[in-house]
Amino acid sequence: MIAGTPQEARAWDRELRRGRRGIDNGAPQTHNAAMPRSRTAPFETHDSPPETVHIIGVPMDHGAGRRGVGMGPSALRIGGLHEKLKAAGREFVDHGDILIRTPERLRAKVEGKANNLPIVLRACDALHEHVQRIVLMGGFPLVIGGDHSINIGTMAGLAVGVRERHKAEKGKGKGRVPREIGVIWIDAHGDLNTPETSPSGNIHGMPVSVALGKGPRVLTHLGGFAPKVQANNVVLIGLRDLDREEKQAILDSGVHAFTMQDIDMRGMAGVIQEAVSLATRNTDYLHVSFDIDSVDPRVAPGTGTTVFGGLTYREAHLALELISESGKLTSFEMVEVNPILDNYNMTGELAAGLIASALGKRIL
């Protein structure tokens, strides 16, 4: 775990901007050209306002069953992410991408029943340090993937950052200091597998379990402790394709689950309102993890695990508009956009637009 104070986090940020170190712990940075300096918030001298969005790309595809999703961060940027955030009136800094090792180089394809575990762990470890520092600075982390295994790094970074912030502020006599995180997980799948239950062994089907403290210990204890969230503050939305043992795991875990049938019956607005209230009960931070496979494949064909009967274009936007309007959102993650499977980047553009809705874009 990285020792952290808000001052140290800001020093790290200054070093990154001067190009003294790459985003991957001193390794060469793969690309960083997108950093929009004119939009840079001046947090050398004071905390960045919470509305400053810090983008971190994680070009990871080794948690998924097929390659290509590692090009997701590029697809989102090419799909207009910066322009759309600007149009939504958000300040942002793009920190570039985490460096990911390739399995061809590491020759570590299968590791027990958690495929590519060393690569996923290494990337999530680097990601968690960055996310932690952004939280410490009081910034808004926006993580773009990459397959859903990267959530393990995001959650660890959020949980550690929130703890360190809590410690730093506790001494100031402010009374109660925020420290718990709620999660809304929008996904066709439950992502509640473990190496024991997973039919494929792909880690992108396991991050919810890992956040709850179940799975390989190196993953559950990334950042030094587990669990990262309480099951009672986790809400799954959009479910329609669950593995047999995963169904039982969801029922046993204590997480809240809204299937596509719930959305059909009650409408997205009602589901989201209840989801926000469940995820923010006794919590101070709200993270939304959005798997693009939650959206129907006719609208979002560019993803590896398509399932028909998904969210419509408007249901997806409405969900994120309402979450944004709640004023509770403190971090966001978009995953599983795979441009190799896409149709002229329509899924990349959709995902960039959905991020803008989550971050405050208004129709009127």
User: What residue ranges bind Mn ion (CB under 5 A)?
Assistant: 148, 187, 191, 291
Phi, psi for 185 (deg, rounded to 5): -115, 105
**Is the CB of 148 or the CB of 163 nearer to Mn ion?**
148
Q: How far is the CB of 238 from Mn ion (least distance, A)?
A: 10
148 carries an active-site annotation: yes
Beta carbon of residue 47, minimum distance to Mn ion (angstroms, whole number)? 33
Q: Answer yes or no: 293 catalytic.
A: yes
Is the CB of 139 or the CB of 215 nearer to Mn ion?
A: 215
245 is a catalytic site residue: no
DSSP per residue over 266-294, as a string? Answer: H-HHHHHHHHHHHHTTT-SEEEEEEEGGG
Whichever of 24 and 291 has its CB closer to Mn ion, that residue is 291
Residue 91 or 333: the one with the smaller Cβ distance to Mn ion is: 333
Pick the catalytic residue: 148, 256, 287, 317?
Answer: 148
Which one of 291, 296, 315, 321 is the catalytic residue? 291
Is 264 noted as a catalytic residue in this protein?
A: no
The residues near 344 (Cβ < 8 Å, ≥ 6 apart) are none
Which 8-state DSSP code applies to residue 29? Answer: P
Closer residue to Mn ion (CB): 294 or 330: 294
Among candidate residues 204, 256, 287, 317, the one labeled active-site is 204
Closest separation in Å from C-beta 13 to Mn ion: 30
CB of 145 to Mn ion, least distance (A): 10
Rounded Cα gap, residues 259 and 132, in angstroms: 32
**CA of 74: how far to CAs of 26, 31, 52, 136, 140, in Å?**
22, 10, 21, 27, 20
We find the least distance from the C-beta atom of residue 185 to Mn ion, in angstroms, to be 8
Structure-token pair, residue 267: 């409408």
Distance CA 299, CA 311 (A): 9
| Cβ atoms of residues 93 and 53 within 8 Å | yes
Active site residue 191: yes
> Known catalytic residues?
148, 187, 189, 191, 204, 291, 293, 336
